[in-house]
Structures are given as structure tokens and as C-alpha cells.
Structure 1
Amino acid sequence: MEVYRRYRFIPATILTLLNLVVDSTDFGTLRNSPLLPIQQLCIFLRAMATGSFQLVVGDTVRVSQPSVSRCCRRVGRAIARLARRYVRFPDREECKTLKSRFQSIAGKCQICVCLTLNDRD
């Protein structure tokens, strides 16, 4: 629960994300003590989960604000590159079906956009 409270993901999900972005965050060398991929991912998740300023996130994990910025840029871009693989937009018919299913659960409301996760790959 402690990991979830800090990062808004359970450890298994964090490890899955790490496997997806590790190539984009691994420097392949320990020269100048770079942040490890898991550290970069956790910094990114902490920044996104809390919405805090980069300086505050950096203070909590003891790295500089510019390092937090680089982590967020690097990990954010790596995750964005995965969008086509995991996110798709439903067609009109599927959107109507999803809208009616949602309304049966939540009651009368208007939905403008429907997103579904594409985990078939």
C-alpha cells in the first residue's frame, strides 16, 4: 500500500512499465552516477501522481530539479511512444455501445470521447 500511495501504481505495474521504457532510460554506463531506469520511472510517476513542482519532487528524492525535468521528459516520451500499441479510439458503433453501457452504470450523462485500452498486442 505504501508504494501505491506514493506512486499511484502497484509494484507489479511499475515493473511492467519499467520493462517497457528501460531501453529509453538506460545510459549503459555508470559514468557520472546516472539515475537508474527504475529511479527515473519512480521520479516520473511521483511527479505525475502528486502534481508537485519538479523542485519539490527533487527534494523528496534528493536529486536536482533539472534531473527531475530530464527524467520526466525521457520517461514521458518513452511512454508516449507506446500509445499506438496500448491506446485506440473506438469506431462509431463501438462508441455507441460503450456510451449505453456507461449510462446503464452511471445514469444519464453525456460522453464526448470514449477511449479503450488496446491490450491485444
Structure 2
Amino acid sequence: MSVSSLSSLSDNETPLRSRRNDIKLNVFEKYDDKEFRARFRVSKETVLYLDSIFGSTIKPVTKRNISLQPVDQILITLRYYATGSYQRVIGDIFHIEQPTVHRVTEKIAYMRSLFINMPTAEERLEVANDFYAIAGFPRVMGAIDCTHIKINSPGTYSNHELYLYSYIIISVPDGRNSPE
């Protein structure tokens, strides 16, 4: 990009190096609840809830520059996972560099143990015994199943492979509360 092309940027175009102003305020005000959920796959309340849970853990420790606030890091991570896009593209959207997107998503993903827990050895044995009691299969830890729940068109999402509108539900039952 030449110097002359930089000077010809319109008012609503910003070079990537320019730091963004508070992302949270921009997207929280820019999108209504429905559009916000379509873009981030969660509600605004969920973002604030996540911020209340681990915001203090990921808060920037420096005051030397314009750091990404915890809620901004959460929004970047959610957008990255919601779209399955490249980190560079997410960086372009939020006016940050790709390595920053990588650092932020890694930091948030590290918090997964707050929500996802693998069973202990004792719990694994109990689950295996439950499955054995149900079906006679030894050493089974879970049965993965997936189904499409057909819905009316929300206007923003289409499952193009099956040409229908649906939620995809993935279930991993553990052998307890099985129907008899």
C-alpha cells in the first residue's frame, strides 16, 4: 500500500495498524440481540457472564499501551470459534494483528477446564459398569450420537449440506438415566 493510497482511505476505512476503540462497546451497541447471537453464537448476557467468571484472570497487566480488555478478548475468541474463520480474518475485523488473535484464543481456550472436565478413574469405572448393566458392552465410556432438529428458517443460517434449517445436537450420554 503506497502513501498516496493511505491518504485516500475513506472516513469509514481504517488501516490495520490503527488501534481499535473498545470492541465491546462497538459490537454491543452495533448489533441487536438477534444479530449479536448470529455473529457470536451466544447472547450478550453470556458474554458478560463469561467476563464475570474469568475476566479478572485474563485482565491485561500492562498500562503501557491500549490493551485488549477481558470482554474484548472473549468477543474475539467467540467470533473466531463461531465462524471457523482464519485468525488473520478475525484480526482484520477487530483491527488487531493475527498473532494477537492467536494469543487471545489460546488464553481463553486454556480456561476450558472451568467448563469441561474429564471423569476421574473412579467415575470412569462407574460409567463403564452402568453401560455394561444396560447393554452388556464392557469398557464403554459413552455413546456419541448426532441429530438435526429441524427448525423454521431464522433467515441467517442454512445447513447447506442437507438443504434445511436445523440445530445440530450432539449427545454423549454416560449410561445413567437410560430409558427402559
After TM superposition, the score normalised by the length of structure 1 is: 0.69
| Other-structure match for 1:81 | 113
Is the 8 Å Cα contact of residues 58 and 65 (structure 1) preserved in structure 2? Answer: yes
Distance in 2 separating the partners of 1:5 and 1:77: 25
Distance verdict in 2 for CA 1:41–1:115, change over 3 Å: farther
RMSD of the TM alignment (CA)? 3.0
Query: Structure 2 CA distance, aligned partners of 1:44 and 1:66?
Result: 13
Off by >6 Å, runs of 4+ in structure 1:
none
Secondary structure of the 2:68 match is: coil
Tell me by how many angstroms 1:88 deviates.
Answer: 6.1
1:114 equivalenced with 2:172 (yes/no): yes
In the alignment, residue 82 of structure 1 is paired with which amino acid? L
Question: Aligned partners of 1:71 and 1:25: how far apart in 2?
Answer: 9
Task: Name stretches of at least 5 consecutive residues in structure 2 with no aligned partner.
Answer: 1-33, 135-142, 150-170, 175-180
Give the Cα–Cα distance (whole angstroms) in 2 for the partners of residues 2 and 53 of structure 1: 21
Partner of 2:60: 27
CA distance, structure 1, for counterparts of residue 75 and residue 81 of structure 2: 10
In structure 1, runs of 5+ residues without a counterpart are: 107-112, 117-121
Tell me the equivalent position of 1:36: 69
Q: Which residue of 1 aligns with 2:88?
A: 55
Q: Which has the higher contact order (CA 8 A, sep 6+)?
A: 1
Task: Give TM-score, length-normalised by structure 2.
Answer: 0.48
Alignment counterpart, residue 65 of structure 1, candidates 94, 98, 103: 98
- CA gap 1:52/1:115 in 2 versus in 1, 3 angstroms: farther
Deviation at 1:24, TM superposition (A): 2.3
Paired amino acid for 1:55 = R
CA distance in 1, matches of 2:173, 2:96: 36
Larger radius of gyration: 2
Q: 1:3 aligns with which of 36, 40, 49?
A: 36
Residue type at the aligned position of 2:77: F
Alignment CA distance shift 1:115-1:43 (3 Å): farther
